[in-house]
Amino acid sequence: MKTPTISPLTLLLLLISCSWAAASAAADHHQDFLHCLSEKFDSSNVVYTASNSSYTSILKYSIFNLRYASESTPKPQVIITPEHESQIPPVIRCAKKTGLEIRTRSGGHDSEGLSYVSQVPFVMIDLINLSEITVDAEAKTAWVEAGATIGSLYYRIAEKSPVLGFPAGGCLTIGVGGHFSGGGYGFMQRKYGLAADHVIDARIVDVNGRILDRKSMGEDLFWAIRGGGAASFGVVVAWKVELVDVPERVTVFTVDKTLEQNATQLIDRWQYIAPNLDKDLFIAILITRLSSDPTIDASFVSLFLGPIDTLLPLMRRSFPELGLVRENCTETSWINSTLYIGGYPIDAPPQILLNRTQPQPAYSKQKSDYVQTPIPQYAIQGIWEQFYRAEDKGNLFITMMPYGGRMAEISDSAIPFPHRAGNLYFFAYLVRWEEENSDGYLSWSRRLYDYMTPYVSTAPRSAYLNYRDLDLGVNNVVGKTSYAQASVWGKKYYKNNFDRLVLVKTMVDPHNFFRNEQSIPSGKSGKLI
């Protein structure tokens, strides 16, 4: 039998008609959704579609990675900016009823844009208006709405007490919703662990539209959302955290070294020292090669929970090679140290911490690794060769964050975040660029990642959830996802905790409503669900 042929014109008409049908179906979905929502509450001041004049500015306001801000990037059919948690259950119920998916955004630093991009018709819940923080200094706790930023949390704590703090990240405009739900590392992790280690309650809207706290959600779900990616399980609207003690005076310093100033040898030595220092002393390394300056710089950046006079003899005993002197150090309050670590002048007004405008958005790609055995010095020199092979106009960064201390004491199954004892440090790669063409920069990022393979963790090669990396594998979000498919990346983020996350997901969201390219799937045993 002769196979029928299709003329180019017919094929074009078919493609046009299919595209029109898909667009028409999507329009039907979102019109049905809007009609459903209008029956639930007055949504006029929190609902935006592409026809609203504010739609584009609201969508782009929190985007940090410009790779996901192009005209061709899929956009939400509807953006919801709830002003109260009671407005979220109807959104979930109407999305389920009308066949739309949900994405939830709290801050926008999402490295792969999964909180505001989808390949299927979707609604984005932007939690920017849920940003209230209530601090109880006497009880040493705080309730933090999920749309608040890390900087605003620090500021509200300092308003109540100069000797309380919280062990979260240094990038101050990150939303706490994503930060807490993925783990949340920072400069006090060796003393106190992660942000997620200090979450003691939460409020989540589940797949049935119920608003649950720790008691009503149960310990399994409460375990899962602290480091397992809360977006797989529902919409967390608020977190209760326990605060930590900080001294009235802390010390910060930065020591910059170039390759010509022995940076390679100092980095090599740091690997043996930094994870074993006193818990009060945290020394990170930021390695930089800027497009405007081909020199490779290594900055040793530190927070010490104590005064200069205690720090200096400690450094002379433990890391004399760095050559730290009093002039390198600044003694200040803990709240001012967060400004310093966040890149602001240390004497800047603390009110800057309330600013949530994204600093210098650019095109970027991030990857991460965990190092369990010191990298040989010749291999560190090989990293510089990789830097020099990169695209000329890209800004290249490597961050090295030491482990040990409290991080090695917490069980790797206490929360889903599993990267504890046995890790010397966390290793992150970032490339940022200005022009829209991404291919060369993405290729460089992947080459460096491949180069590092012999020197980082294995079986699995681990990665940090909050530095999402779709190169590790994706779910089939349009259709069904198998356990085997998801475990490719799931074991890297969660190691042995992945299976328990799947069981929790199956229990609380059996039909896999809350999903994205790297969400926890429902079901197990390899079959499609």
Tokens of 228: 């397992």
Are 311 and 283 a contacting pair, CB within 8 Å? no
- Radius of gyration in angstroms for the set of CA atoms belonging to the chain, rounded to a whole number: 24
Specify burial of residue 35 (Cβ count, 10 A radius: 0-12, 13-18, 19+).
Answer: exposed
Amino acid at residue number 204: I
Task: Measure the CA–CA gap between 44 and 77, rounded to whole angstroms.
Answer: 16
- Which tokens is 189 given? 């992790």
Structure-block tokens of residue 80 = 């919801």
Instruction: Locate 334 and state its tokens.
Output: 């803990």
Helical residues (DSSP H) of 226-333, grouped into ranges: 263-273, 308-318
Instruction: State both tokens at 125.
Output: 């819940």
Q: What are the C-alpha distances in Å from 266 to residues 261, 322, 402?
A: 9, 7, 14
Geometric angle at alpha carbon 314, from 264 and 312, rounded to 5°:
85
Do 282 and 191 meet the contact criterion of CB atoms below 8 Å apart?
yes
Which helix (H) or strand (E) is 529 found in, with range? none
Is 185 an annotated catalytic residue?
A: no
Which helix (H) or strand (E) element contains residue 140?
none
Tell how far CA 240 is from the center of its chain. 19
Q: How far apart are the first and last CA of the chain?
A: 39
DSSP labels, 53-119: TTHHHHHHHT--BGGGSSTTS---SEEE--SSGGGHHHHHHHHHHHT-EEEEESSS--TT-TTT--S
Q: Which of 48, 116, 429, 467 is catalytic?
A: 467
SS (H, E, C) 373-432: CCCCHHHHHHHHHHHHCCCCCCEEEEEEEECCHHHHCCCCCCCCCCCCCCCCEEEEEEEE
> CA 336 to CA 354: how far, in whole Å?
13
* Cis, peptide link before residue 416, omega less than 30° from 0: no
For residues 88 and 235, is the Cβ–Cβ distance under 8 A? yes
Q: Which residues are catalytic?
A: 467
